[in-house]
Amino acid sequence: MSKIKPSKGAPYARILGVGGYRPTRVVPNEVILETIDSSDEWIRSRSGIETRHWASDEETVAAMSIEASGKAIADAGISAEQIGGVIVSTVSHFKQTPAVATEIADKLGTNKAAAFDISAGCAGFGYGLTLAKGMIVEGSAEYVLVIGVERLSDLTDLEDRATAFLFGDGAGAVVVGPSQEPGIGPTVWGSEGDKSETIKQTVPWTDYRSGEVAKFPAITQEGQAVFRWAVFEMAKVAKEALDVAGVSAEDLDVFIPHQANERIIDSMVKTLKLPESVTVARDVRTTGNTSAASIPLAMERLLATGEAKSGDTALVIGFGAGLVYAATVVTLP
C-alpha cells in the first residue's frame, strides 16, 4: 500500500482573469506590399487580415508578457504573491535558457513561483491551460498564470509571399484558479508529427551560425496543406471537445479559435453548424496571427468590447506547427 498522501487541490479550476498587450506600432497591408508582389485585396480575401502589430526593441517577449500578466492578475482580483506557477508558451524567445517564465515570475513579484516555458506553437495556450488546471486540481498551486506571447515579426521573411502578411506580435495572459464547479472542460489534444514539414522554421539555428545559410531563419508553411488540415481535421477536434464537455453547439455563447486565417474560422463555423447567436472571435483582422498569444488576446478583446461577457460558455481551439492541437470548453472570466 502506498504511503504517499493524496493531493489536496481544488475540486475544479477556471479562468479568473484575462489581460492582453498589443505593441504600439500598427502595420497595415501597404507596408507588407513593399516587399512582396501582392495586393491589399488579395491579402484580405485570403486571410481577412487588414493590420497587425509589430513590436519595438523595447517590447520584448518578457516586457509584453509582464504588461499582459499585470492586467490579468488585476482582473482576477488577486496579488502576484499568490501566483504559484507561471507557464509561458512561445516560439520566439531567443534565449535557449533560462526560461523567460522565470524572469517574468520575478519581475511580477511572485513568491518564487514555479516557472517554465513550453513550445507548442499555436496550440500553446491550450497546452498551458491544461497544465495549469492540473496543477490547481492536484494542489501544487492555488493560482497559475498562463501566458501566450510572440514576437513573430522576428521570424517573418518579408519576401515570402505565402507568409509575409500573416504574422503579428503580442501577449495574452490568463489567471487560472480554484473553482467549486467545472470551469475548464476536458482537453482534446494531440500531435501529427508526420505533417511537421507543413509549418516549420526554414533552417536550424546551427546552419545560420555555421554560415551554411546567410539568411536569418524564418517560419514557412505549405499554405494549402495547412488550410485543408485546419478546416477538415480541426473541426472534428472542436466537435470532440464539445462532446466530452457535454456541451452542444446550441449551448455555446462564444467561439474563440486560433486566429490564423478568417477563411479557416468561417469554414469551422459552418462545419460545426454554430447558431448565429454564437459570438465568433475575429481578432485576426487587426492583430494577425500571433500564434500562442492569439486565443487569450481574442478573449480579452471580446470581453473588453462587450461582445462576450463573464460567465459565457466558450469553445477554444488552437492548432499549428508540429502539427499540434488543443481544444476545450471554458467559462469566461
C-alpha of 84 from chain center = 21
* 289 assigned to active site: yes
d(CA 137, CA 313) in angstroms, rounded, equals: 21
Q: Closest Cα to residue 257, out of 272, 275, 244?
A: 272
Q: Going by DSSP bridges, is the β-strand pair 169-179/143-151 parallel, antiparallel, or unpaired?
A: antiparallel
- Extract the C-alpha cell encoding 333: 472570466
* Contact (CB, 8 A) for 327 and 316: yes
* 122 assigned to active site: yes
The active-site residue, picked from 29, 53, 93, 122, is 122
3-state SS class at 119: coil
The active-site residue, picked from 29, 53, 93, 258, is 258
Q: Going by DSSP bridges, is the β-strand pair 143-151/83-89 parallel, antiparallel, or unpaired?
A: parallel
d(CA 213, CA 47) in angstroms, rounded, equals: 30
**91-96 long-range contacts, Cβ below 8 Å, gap at least 24?**
91/119, 91/121, 91/124, 91/150, 91/155, 91/291, 91/292, 91/321, 92/61, 92/149, 92/150, 92/151, 92/152, 92/154, 92/155, 92/291, 93/61, 93/62, 93/117, 93/149, 94/154
Count of CA atoms in the C-beta half-sphere (13 A) of 132: 37
The active-site residue, picked from 29, 53, 261, 289, is 289
Active-site residues, by number, are 122, 258, 289
